[in-house]
Structure 1
Amino acid sequence: MSKALTHAKIVPRRSNERGHADHGWLNTYHTFSFANYYDPRYQNFGSLRVLNEDRVDAQNGFPTHPHRDAEIFSYILSGELTHRDSMIKKGAEGKQGDDFFKMHRGDVQFTTGGTGIAHSEQNESDEEVHFLQIWALPWKRGLTPRYHTRTFSEEAKRQAFLPILSPLKAGPKATAEEEKAAEATLPETIPIHADLVMAEGIIGVDKRFRWTVGANAVQKTEGRNVYIHLPMTKKGAMKIRIDGRESAVLSEGDGAFVSDVNAGDVLSIESIGEAEAEVVVLDSD
């Protein structure tokens, strides 16, 4: 059994306390202040700025809209979401790759807004799509816009927490060539312009996964901020316990702010519900 992190501060963020809006075609929950939801207590957590849990009806979606100076990524939980952007070349519609992607469960579409881009995210299928939209604050402004798409193995997530994003290996002082090479610190992950690691695990009932803070991939080693999120995917049957604490038991839609932890600390997460638990980890500076 993992040793409890007695120095860690763990504060739950309950699902019913999140910002919420139902626009008919879009049912959305906001962990942090976003759009018409504002709470001065929830502006960001380290470089983590936005965590929205969205459900979009069939044949609906977000029309083309601009972004700049933000690292934005969508993680698909169920259904299909189609991404199109202002960098796409005419005639490339339907291409699976950096410019155009029909995303399904386990897919991640990542955008560096940088100096400015425009994109759309549409549900062109006949079923609802459920996904997480996450934003991080980049380590510097004025970056060159960039896209990445990648599929992550369901089976690998059932073995341990699987890293999905990690910092660009070259760091904030990356050259144009290093930016183009887009090498992430952790192999087989998407590079992000922030001192942040994202991972996901699917923890079997009565099983336990362990997350090593920082994942041996970050620059800031002391006073890190780890956000744990349990998306609403199993009709309320998922439940987890963090660090063995009864005060840190999360149900679907809940999250937890874990602070005062350092790189190398090991955080224990147990699945204690009736269904395997799908757990998202956002480990930030």
Structure 2
Amino acid sequence: MSNLSHAKIVPRPSKTRGAANHGWLDTKHTFSFGGWYDPEYSQFGSLRVLNEDRVMPGEGFPTHFHNNAEIFSYILSGELTHRDSMQKKGAESEDKNKFYRLHRNDVQFTTGGKGISHSEYNEHERDWVHFLQIWVLPWKRNLPPIYHTSTFPDQDKRKDFVNIITPLKAGPKATLEDEKAAVPAKDGTIPIHADVVFSAGIIPPGSAFQYQVGAGDAVTSRSDRKVYIHLPETKGGKAKIRLDGREDAVLEEGDGAYVSHVNANDMLKVESVGEDEAEVVVIDSE
């Protein structure tokens, strides 16, 4: 039975995503990206890019330029090495806020701002890396570029949805001192320059989690939030979820759903109704 009768939920089948297999890269695009364009799928709220990528060992994305986008990578399996053009191979830093070899549970975040170059490679000898790359449009252009990397353990995500990214507490009028302090709206999360919350949960079969829209007081825009749900392809098709108890809102692996007409503090029920645990990511935007 629905608890959010005012919410509009529109499933997005995986088969409607843009897909390409380049041999070294198997990629699927929820929104128009690169060589795939569909005017029906351009963005949702501030969410502009949601790519599910698999990269073979020894391959990756060479140094490339970004600006005026908030970009983050969520590692599902394997290893991804992130560095910028100043960092030489073999000189990885232990400082997670600079350059880092990412594994499962790690989230790497970049504010492109006025411009930054970086590369992302799978330098593992044997294993493919499987990760989500997500881009959000910032609330202000030409910000100072910055990196953040944090670890969010699976054991926490198996208990409830974990907030991973929340807005910069100082907001759009942040000073340079605020930018350096990088205080997020919720302790323990990564700050983003947008009224956006990114969360993840791993729901056991037969169980349900409640997603709190807007992470409570973390957001400024509290009405008519745009919440995108994505179920990554991690369990060979054995994971499945149902949203808000609705039989017409059941998602298979690779599917997503647009949830609109919801407000901060609304509780969205997400049930795991498949044979295996369901890893669910949520991008919650103004």
Q: Report the TM range for the smaller structure's normalisation.
A: over 0.9
Describe the superposition over 1:232-283 as per-residue Cα deviations: whole angstroms up to 9, x where unpaired.
0000000000000010000000000000111111100000000011000111
Q: Secondary structure at the match of 2:180?
A: helix
Q: How does 1:64-213 map to 2 (within 5 A)?
A: 64-86=63-85, 88=87, 93-96=91-94, 97-125=96-124, 126-213=126-213
Task: Measure, in 1, the Cα distance between the counterparts of 2:200 and 2:284.
Answer: 11
**Kept in 1: contact 2:229–2:280 (CA 8 A):** yes
Task: Measure, in 2, the Cα distance between the counterparts of 1:45 and 1:18.
Answer: 14
What corresponds to 2:268 in structure 1?
267
Task: Measure, in 2, the Cα distance between the counterparts of 1:247 and 1:72.
Answer: 32
Matched, 1:60 2:59: yes
Amino acid at match of 1:205: P
What corresponds to 1:235 in structure 2?
236
**Kept in 2: contact 1:49–1:135 (CA 8 A):** yes
Describe the superposition over 1:136-173 as per-residue Cα deviations: whole angstroms up to 9, x where unpaired.
00001010000000110111101100000000000000
**Kept in 1: contact 2:213–2:268 (CA 8 A):** yes
Task: Measure, in 1, the Cα distance between the counterparts of 2:42 and 2:219.
Answer: 22
> Aligned-pair distance for 1:86?
3.6
Closer/same/farther in 2, CA of residues 255 and 203 from structure 1, 3 Å limit: same
Q: Which consecutive unaligned segments of at least 5 residues does structure 2 have?
A: none
Task: Measure, in 2, the Cα distance between the counterparts of 1:25 and 1:181.
Answer: 39
Amino acid at match of 1:140: K
Q: Secondary structure at the match of 1:98?
A: coil
**Kept in 1: contact 2:166–2:186 (CA 8 A):** yes
Output the aligned Cα RMSD: 1.3
Identity over aligned pairs, percent: 63
Q: Which consecutive unaligned segments of at least 5 residues does structure 1 have?
A: none
> Aligned-pair distance for 1:92?
8.8
Q: Secondary structure at the match of 2:155?
A: helix
> TM-score by structure 2 length?
0.97
Amino acid at match of 1:259: S
Q: How does 1:7-46 map to 2 (within 5 A)?
A: 7-46=6-45
**Kept in 1: contact 2:2–2:245 (CA 8 A):** no
**Kept in 2: contact 1:86–1:117 (CA 8 A):** no
> Aligned-pair distance for 1:98?
1.6
> TM-score by structure 1 length?
0.97
Task: Measure, in 1, the Cα distance between the counterparts of 2:258 and 2:86.
Answer: 36
State which drifts further: 34-43 or 234-243. Answer: 34-43
Describe the superposition over 1:27-82 as per-residue Cα deviations: whole angstroms up to 9, x where unpaired.
00000000011111111111010000000001100000000000000000000000
> Aligned-pair distance for 1:93?
1.9
**Kept in 1: contact 2:82–2:118 (CA 8 A):** yes
**Kept in 1: contact 2:97–2:149 (CA 8 A):** yes
Q: Secondary structure at the match of 1:99?
A: coil
Q: Secondary structure at the match of 1:267?
A: strand
Describe the superposition over 1:170-218 as per-residue Cα deviations: whole angstroms up to 9, x where unpaired.
0000010000000000110000000000000000110000011111210
**Kept in 2: contact 1:93–1:100 (CA 8 A):** no
**Kept in 2: contact 1:87–1:99 (CA 8 A):** no
